[in-house]
Structure 1
Amino acid sequence: MNNSTIRSKTREKANWQKWSLIALGFLFFAVILLAPLFTVFYYALAQGFTLFMQAIGSEEALAAIWLTVKVALIVLPVNMFIGVVMAWTIAYFNFKGKAFLTALLDLPFSISPVVVGLMFLLLFGLDGLVGKWFIDHGFRIVFAMPSIVIVTLFVTFPLIVKSLIPTMTAQGNSEEQAALILGANTWTLFFTVTLPKIKWALIYGVILSNARAMGEFGAVSVVSGHIRGLTNTIPLYVEISYNEYQFIAAFACASLLAALALLTLGCQTLLGRLQQRKVEKSLHSRTA
């Protein structure tokens, strides 16, 4: 058997292994991801588009949608500010406790969302450590919107920080130091030097944070109290509707969350392509 025959058989074996793994991957995604996703949209529209819109437009559904949007609008700016500050601190400065602070960023991912909700319930509840003081002063946290915002912040804030740290660490802070030497103030430094460098990573983190904020269930379920029309977000409304056999309402709102997931995926793909084009254009301009 000559060398060309051996190489041909080796190549055929490699191709067979490659296509087998590709087929296995597609089969797994089709069964585990695509089929359930298709099922949600199918049952949401099975009774017709009119009933779908009526389910989405009901008073309780609109209240859940609006509460979810309000929580996201509050959480995202806070996450952006905290995320940039923490990423800047970790990426650009060396200090004692840096490794511990970085490790704490993974804490919200390590703790079950239900446990997160229970922690804040024990802290701000009527019998909690500080809950009674807030209630005595006329400010309710648990079983109200503030608790939903707090637990959502807890489970989402690492997403932006985690997106920014690798980019800021890789790029370094030499440009910021040069701007400081030239007399730039803090705001000018951030908006003209730092933000253009991290904008893609920041947008990517914001997209992930927004999707997680709107889809959070476990922590919000514990602290919300499930008050109809007041503290039910979309995921909680889906659960309640399904348990009460209001399947059209449950599947309709579930399809909204599924559509949000698809939109998030599309935005991630688009950002990745735009960033790749920018890198390729920069490399082309340098070599030209």
Structure 2
Amino acid sequence: MTAPVLNKKNLNISRWVLIITTYIIVGIMLVLPPVLVIIEALRDGPYAAFASMTDPDALAAIRLTLVMTVASVAINSTFGVLAAWLIAKYRFPMRGILLMLIELPISISPVVAGLVWLLLFGTQGWWGEALNRMNIHIAFAPAGILLATLFVTFPYVTRTLLPLMEQQGRDAEDAAMLLGASFWQILWHVTLPEARWALLSGVLLTTARAMGEFGAVSVVSGHIPGLTETMPLHIETLYNGYQSVAAFSMATLLAIMAMATVSLRSVFESRAHNVATGEHDA
């Protein structure tokens, strides 16, 4: 009779050790860094932190980040919905290869993507000279930043929607088709309503990734202050220029934006999980 009691006691001790260890690791790795960033941003007081973000270059970086984020989210959300619908609902040749290609940006270094865009659209690139003759600028311009951001955020909406759409099956859509509904009517009124929380979760994940992208954008942007510097690039410029308060102030703003986005995503992801398990919200 004593052995089961001892085993249960040992399991409880092990569980609490695991819980405490997890919280310690999370605190050190995930909570402490943003706290230190905020402390450094406020080192000279809130006014100095706020003043640094009203600098014209800082405002330009914030504006460019928001524009690139909205544009990349809109484009990749549209593609992601269509790609997830195609892959989930149909079987076709090289379907696995298509899915692998969509997931490629997750595994490849963003710096490599930036170099590829330079190879294609840079001044010495394959199409750079022809584009310059037409007065079209992609490398070291906002268009190049958009391409880089699109690449790194490419898979997220598709990967978020795909499991739910596969679980949905095609019965309701086939019934709607027999009743004469068009493709867009089926997608908008049949498929997406049940997948709305997963879609919002994927959109927010794409948003967070787009706002914080550094590697690919750094390569293709040219780091031109006020023109092609997003918030992450501007943070690096400020820090390298020994403007610590300004750098950490911008980093704090970016962290707050990212944390708000991730928090909203957690809510939507929970809703998506409830829908997937049959716990529909009212």
TM tier relative to shorter chain: over 0.9
> What is the identity, as a one-letter code, of the residue corresponding to 2:141?
A
| TM-score, normalised with respect to structure 1 | 0.94
> What is the identity, as a one-letter code, of the residue corresponding to 1:192?
H
Match of 1:228 in 2: 225
Task: State yes or no: 1:82 paired with 2:48.
Answer: no
Q: Are residues 282 and 71 of structure 1, via their aligned partners in 2, closer, same or farther at CA, if it must alter by over 3 Å?
A: closer
Match of 2:119 in 1: 122
Helix, strand or coil at the partner of 2:164: helix
Distance 2:279 2:198 in 1: 18
Match of 2:148 in 1: 151
Q: Identify the range of structure 1 (218-227 vs 273-282) with the bigger mean alpha-carbon deviation.
A: 273-282
| TM-score, normalised with respect to structure 2 | 0.96
Output one character per residue of 1:258-282: Cα deviation in whole Å (capped at 9) or x when no partner: 1122112311222244445666654
Task: State yes or no: 1:65 paired with 2:62.
Answer: yes
Contact 2:69 2:211 in 1 (8 A): yes
Matched positions, count: 281
Q: Superposition RMSD on alpha carbons, in Å? A: 1.6
Distance 1:137 1:275 in 2: 47
Q: Which one of the candidate residues 252, 257, 275 is aligned to 1:260?
A: 257
Structure 1: gaps (5+ residues): none
Structure 2: gaps (5+ residues): none
Output one character per residue of 1:32-80: Cα deviation in whole Å (capped at 9) or x when no partner: 1111110011111221111111011111100000000110121111011
Runs of 4+, deviation exceeding 2 Å: 272-283
Distance 2:31 2:142 in 1: 34
> What is the identity, as a one-letter code, of the residue corresponding to 1:42?
I
> What is the identity, as a one-letter code, of the residue corresponding to 1:111?
I
Helix, strand or coil at the partner of 1:157: coil
Match of 1:165 in 2: 162
Matches of residues 128-207 of structure 1 in structure 2 within 5 Å?
128-207=125-204
Distance 2:101 2:273 in 1: 31
Match of 1:269 in 2: 266
The percentage of counterpart residues that share the same residue type is: 41
Task: State yes or no: 1:238 paired with 2:224.
Answer: no
Helix, strand or coil at the partner of 1:105: helix
Helix, strand or coil at the partner of 1:147: helix
Distance 2:280 2:109 in 1: 43
Distance 1:127 1:261 in 2: 36
Helix, strand or coil at the partner of 2:154: helix
Distance 2:13 2:64 in 1: 52
Distance 1:76 1:272 in 2: 17
Task: State yes or no: 1:23 paired with 2:15.
Answer: no
> What is the identity, as a one-letter code, of the residue corresponding to 1:85?
L
Contact 2:204 2:262 in 1 (8 A): no
Match of 2:40 in 1: 43
